[in-house]
Amino acid sequence: MVNSLTPDQKKFLRVVVSCLLTFMVKVSSAQTFTYADPSLIALYPQQNDFRNTLNLSGMWEFKKDSLEVGETENWQNGLEGARSIAVPGSWNEQFADGRNYLGMAWYETESYVPASWQGQRIFLRVGSANYAAKVWVNGQPVGRHEGGHLPFAFEIGKLINWGETNRVSIQIENYLKPSRVPTGNVTGGPFQSFPKANYDFFPYAGLHRDVWLYSIPNTASIKDITIKTDFENTTGSIEVIVESEGNARQGKVVISGNEGQQYEADFRFVNNTSSATVSIPDVRLWSPDDPYLYQVDVTIGSSRNPGDRYSLETGVRTISVTENQLLLNGEPIFLKGFGKHEDFPIFGKGTAHPVMVKDYALMKWTGANSFRTSHYPYDEEYMRMADREGFLVIDETPAVGLYFHGDTTELAQRQAMCKQYIEEMISRDKNHPSVIMWCIANEPFPESLNPSAGSREATPESVALFQELFDLVKEKDDTRLATLVGVMGGPAEWLGLSDIICINRYYGWYTHLGDMEGATQLLGMELDGLHQRFKKPIIITEFGADTYPGMHAVEPEMFTEEFQTQFIKAYLDVADARDYMAGMHVWAFSDFRTSQGLIRFGGVNYKGVFTRDRKPKVAAYFLRSRWTE
């Protein structure tokens, strides 16, 4: 019958068969990926007598997949023609042909799992994959996760090959979309740049933090620990809430500190949940002046037959506000510090521990006591170091560039992502004494934004959506403050939902160009109006001026180091004259990379008081003299 067909009919038949075969391949290769469970990231992987860890970071295999054929062609079974890439690290900084590439790419590594782990539950934990990831182990689908800057984990024990290597494959893409958080490719957005991010920092892609294999006991294990602290007079209290999995019925909390003293409490599980409150006589309160940490050891099971153990550090401290002041341990404290970025040449947004150590040393050198994780949660080691070094942290979700007009489906998707970020961030960071505030968004903007025309009025829908996010924060953690950071010209109604008012202001730079007298007059009037309206303390979480390193002038002029110093001094003077000001964060700690645009010479934001490679500008010396007096 085929032989009786005309050439055109045969050609058509071949096309149809080819399409059917392609469809059948795609259907047969379609795999199910579960979404990551935020509860699995509550406890950072830890090595002890019950738990094991194996860090998979190092040199991986890497391959771009610009045509998105990798999954159909089963790249999860092995990458051919791949090249080496460092993990952690941004691929945009490691490859010349990856500088502006935000499409799909694949990572692969192989590792043995120690034989001693057999009989335990085994997990794979990815510290940050920006933006969307799918994971395979030995060619089998494990799960997926959307959203960068926060970890995700999957249980993989059933997929392990014992006595031979195991392949881990991760597919990542970082397409900029209006439906994502942070947003990108937004029509009419405030940023005109390439790549078209709707925010003012580079949209780095890749595996930015450590990738771990870890194991926990099989019969009974600790799933989560939540610590809440308080004090009265000289007696502190540490409440330890424990969630378990498996058959453990009881456990013990041991808190060590005060020169070797130990304080203990037993607890019993009811539906795998329990709590114990331990009193600490002559408590040593955590603060920037004395960042004292107590060791908390939680063991489940009986004393004769323990089943699992986990240890962490905590500081006893409280945080609250009055009408005019931010109170740490019941005493007023003023936040001196910076907004900053995880950004460094070659590493991009990849974790770089020496840079981390250097940043803390330089912040201390200036006299700073705080910073904001603008505009996403930082690496977990960054948070642990803040605990040890005594820095107060405003911990911020990746919700930058939010807006509430346009496509309603995209709006709903963004709201869902904001809620996911809040759950993940609080689950991960809730036990750090350094974290005093959750920030749910940076510079959300209304449909029409004109910083020179004053504050816009918020829509009722946007207020309701923000209220949902604030309610979720308080549901997850009622021991810290909650805020959002307002943009110049943004609705004041959004600010009023916060426990403390946080705003970014650039009068004298983006408006009133170079006119510091007019800028500070307007700033003072706005601050007074906000405080009179909301009766809450105020923090200016960003203020600063682009400054090209080494550019000078006899009289302060825009872009010179003299003007940056004058700008920062003028803003600090305005704050010092008002007793309701609770903090000033200079934007920014260091210069950082951005997308290309007319206002970003060389694709860099030069508002840092340190250069991108951490050399001080004149303003850094000024802040040191001002903040260390």
Residues designated catalytic? 443, 542
Cis bond leading into 88, ω under 30°?
yes
CB crowding 525-557: b at 16 or more within 10 Å, else e: ebbeebbeebebbbbbbbbbbbbbbebeeeebe
DSSP codes of every residue in 141-161: EEEEEE-SSS-EEEE-GGG--
Phi, psi of 143 (to 5 degrees): 175, 180
- The neighbouring-strand residues paired with 278 are 238
Q: Would you say 161 and 153 are in contact if contact means Cβ atoms under 8 Å apart?
A: no
- The span from the CA of 600 to the CA of 204, in Å, is 17
DSSP summary character for residue 18: H
Q: Would you say 204 and 170 are in contact if contact means Cβ atoms under 8 Å apart?
A: no
CA-wise closest residue to 253 among 279, 234, 233, 235 = 279
Phi, psi of 460 (to 5 degrees): -60, -35
- The span from the CA of 620 to the CA of 588, in Å, is 11
Q: Would you say 501 and 539 are in contact if contact means Cβ atoms under 8 Å apart?
A: yes
Per-residue tokens: 89: 């690290």
DSSP H helical ranges for 430-491: 460-476
Interstrand relation of 121-126 and 152-155 (parallel, antiparallel or unpaired): antiparallel
3 contact partners, CB below 8 Å, separation of at least 6: none
Cis bond leading into 375, ω under 30°?
yes
Q: How many CB atoms lie under 10 A from the CB of residue 187?
A: 7
Instruction: Please tell me the total number of residues recorded for the chain in this structure.
Output: 629
Q: Is 76 exposed, middle or buried (0-12, 13-18, 19+ CB in 10 A)?
A: buried
Per-residue tokens: 1: 């019958």
CA-wise closest residue to 539 among 508, 494, 573, 504 = 504
- The span from the CA of 29 to the CA of 403, in Å, is 38
- The span from the CA of 97 to the CA of 472, in Å, is 42
